[in-house]
Amino acid sequence: MKILVLGGDGYCGWPTSLHLSDAGHDVVIVDNFVRRQIDHELGVQSLTPVVGLTERLRAWRETGGRPVGLEVGDLLDWDFVAGLVERHRPEAVVHFAEQRAAPYSMISRGHAIYTQHNNVIGNLNVLFAINEFAPDCHLVKLGTMGEYGTPNIDIEEGFIEIEHNGRKDTLPYPKQPGSWYHLSKVHDSHNIMFACKIWGMRATDLNQGVVYGTVTPQTERNERLVNRFDYDEVFGTVLNRFCIQAAIGHPLTVYGEGGQTRGFLDIRDTVRCIELAIENPAERGEFRVFNQFTEKFSVRQLAGMVSDAAAKLGVETRIEKQPNPRVESEEHYYNAKHTRLLDLGLEPHYLSDALLDSLLNIAVKHRGRADLDAVNPRVDWRTGRRSLLEEVDEPAYPSTL
Q: Just list the catalytic residues.
A: 144, 181, 185
* Burial of residue 83, with CB atoms counted within 10 A of its CB: 0-12 exposed, 13-18 middle, 19 or more buried: middle
User: By C-alpha distance, which of 183, 172, 48, 177 is closest to 115?
Assistant: 183
* Burial of residue 272, with CB atoms counted within 10 A of its CB: 0-12 exposed, 13-18 middle, 19 or more buried: buried
Residue 163 burial (CB count, 10 A)? 8
- Choose which of 3, 4, 5, 9 interacts with ligand NAD (CB under 6 A): 9
97 binds, among ligand NAD, ligand USQ, none (CB under 5 to 8 A by kind): ligand NAD
Would you say 211 or 246 has its CB closer to ligand NAD? 211
**65 is an interface residue for ligand NAD by CB under 6 A:** no
**379 is an interface residue for ligand NAD by CB under 6 A:** no
The answer to whether the beta carbons of residues 201 and 131 sit under 8 Å apart is yes
Would you say 28 or 274 has its CB closer to ligand USQ? 274
Nearest approach, Cβ of residue 270 and ligand NAD (Å): 8
The answer to whether the beta carbons of residues 125 and 78 sit under 8 Å apart is yes
Would you say 296 or 385 has its CB closer to ligand USQ? 296
370 binds, among ligand USQ, ligand NAD, none (CB under 5 to 8 A by kind): none
297 binds, among ligand USQ, ligand NAD, none (CB under 5 to 8 A by kind): none
Q: Which residues contact 52 (CB under 8 A, 6 or more apart)?
A: none
Chain residues that interact with ligand USQ, rule: CB under 6 A: 100-102, 144-146, 209-210, 237-238, 241, 253-255, 260, 262-263, 299, 326, 328
65 binds, among ligand USQ, ligand NAD, none (CB under 5 to 8 A by kind): none
Would you say 9 or 233 has its CB closer to ligand NAD? 9
281 binds, among ligand USQ, ligand NAD, none (CB under 5 to 8 A by kind): none
Q: Give the Cα separation of 10 and 96 in Å (integer).
A: 8
Residue whose C-beta lies closest to ligand USQ: 146
Q: Give the Cα separation of 115 and 111 in Å (integer).
A: 6
The answer to whether the beta carbons of residues 94 and 140 sit under 8 Å apart is yes
- Choose which of 74, 147, 266, 330 interacts with ligand NAD (CB under 6 A): 74
Would you say 120 or 303 has its CB closer to ligand NAD? 120
Cα→Cα distances 28→72, 89, 153, Å: 10, 11, 41
Q: Give, for 301, the enclosing helix (H) or strand (E).
A: helix 299-312
Tell me the sheet residues that pair with 70. 29
**236 is an interface residue for ligand NAD by CB under 6 A:** no
One-letter amino acid identity for 378?
R
Cα→Cα distances 398→97, 110, 123, Å: 17, 12, 19
Nearest approach, Cβ of residue 122 and ligand NAD (Å): 4
Would you say 315 or 338 has its CB closer to ligand NAD? 338
Phi, psi (degrees; rounded to nearest 5) at 27: -110, 135
- The DSSP result for 249-267, as a single string, is TPPEEEETTSB-EEEEEEH
Strand-pair category, 167-172 with 159-164? antiparallel
**358 is an interface residue for ligand NAD by CB under 6 A:** no
31 binds, among ligand USQ, ligand NAD, none (CB under 5 to 8 A by kind): ligand NAD
Would you say 37 or 222 has its CB closer to ligand NAD? 37
Nearest approach, Cβ of residue 259 and ligand USQ (Å): 9
Nearest approach, Cβ of residue 195 and ligand USQ (Å): 21
The DSSP secondary-structure symbol of 279 reads H
Q: Which residues bind ligand NAD (CB under 6 A)?
A: 7, 9-13, 31-35, 74-76, 96-98, 100, 118, 122, 142, 144, 208, 210-211, 228, 237
